[in-house]
């Protein structure tokens, strides 16, 4: 099953390397506002849901601050899906793996990832409502032919990447990178404001 990916330390090592490469490119491009030098201003994250020991520095979100105008630049990430404390892969797989499952197996998945039922319900609603309504998805869904069944997200989208289960998660997370940046948080904020949910449990 897909949880084998989240139990493979090599998967997270590749994710960290990919994010580090994105950070190097962002730093080399300098500040988008004034062209100034970008200094490292990483901030800590406390990722949850891992099934193996994460690499050193995995809990640092790469970010920069302009030495001139102080504007912050935060590159895209394949490790974190927006501001959620759970790993991006968990936010995808914990919902995808529940679709079509019996209540007993769904409970097993909650125990596997350490995610509460309330949080899972919130993620499911996010995929169904906020994600579908996001500017990112309205543009990106045109790349799929035939169209992805929105009622089946994220499983219906995950199945379009790779030839087998073990190879699908990494390219999907790269596809979702635009919603990992501050600009991609807009749909999250709108959804949270309407639902009254708290950031800490997401």
Please give the Cα distance from 94 to 44 (Å, whole number): 24
Tens-place pLDDT, residues 113-156: 888 888 888 999 999 999 999 999 999 999 999 999 999 999 99
Please give the Cα distance from 186 to 189 (Å, whole number): 5
Residue 191 pLDDT exceeds 80: no
| Residue pair 16/59 in contact by the 8 Å Cβ criterion | no
Residue 138 is inside which H or E element, if any? Answer: helix 135-140
Pick the more confident residue, 166 or 197.
166
Please give the Cα distance from 92 to 189 (Å, whole number): 19
Tell me the backbone φ, ψ of residue 136, rounded to 5 degrees.
-60, -50
| Residue pair 58/66 in contact by the 8 Å Cβ criterion | no
Domain limits, the chain = 3-192
Which pLDDT band holds residue 110 (cuts at 50, 70, 90)?
confident
The conformation of residue 4, written as its DSSP 8-state character, comes to: H
pLDDT at position 162: 78
Question: What's this model's pTM, rounded to 2 decimal places?
Answer: 0.84
pLDDT at position 102: 65
Nearest to 3 by CA among 99, 93, 101, 98: 93
- Alpha carbons within 13 angstroms on the beta-carbon side of residue 119 total 20
Cα Dmax for the chain: 56
Please give the Cα distance from 33 to 42 (Å, whole number): 19
């Amino acid at each position: 099953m897909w949880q084998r990916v989240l139990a493979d330390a090599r998967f997270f090592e590749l994710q960290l390397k990919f994010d580090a490469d994105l950070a190097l490119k962002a730093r080399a491009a300098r500040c988008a506002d004034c062209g100034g030098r970008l200094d490292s201003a990483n901030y800590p994250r406390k990722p949850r849901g891992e099934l193996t020991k994460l690499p050193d520095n995995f809990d640092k979100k790469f970010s920069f601050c302009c030495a001139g105008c102080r504007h912050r630049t935060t590159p895209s990430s394949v490790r974190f899906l927006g501001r959620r404390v759970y790993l991006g892969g968990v936010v995808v797989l914990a919902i995808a793996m529940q679709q079509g499952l019996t209540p007993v197996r769904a409970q097993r998945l909650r125990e596997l990832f350490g995610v509460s039922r309330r949080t899972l319900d919130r993620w499911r609603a996010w995929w169904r409502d906020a994600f579908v309504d996001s500017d990112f998805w309205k543009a990106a869904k045109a790349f799929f032919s035939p169209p992805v069944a929105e009622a089946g997200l994220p499983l219906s989208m995950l199945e379009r990447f790779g030839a087998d289960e073990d190879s699908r998660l990494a390219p999907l997370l790269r596809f979702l990178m635009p919603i990992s940046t501050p600009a991609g948080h807009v749909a999250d904020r709108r959804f949270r404001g309407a639902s009254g949910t708290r950031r800490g449990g997401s």
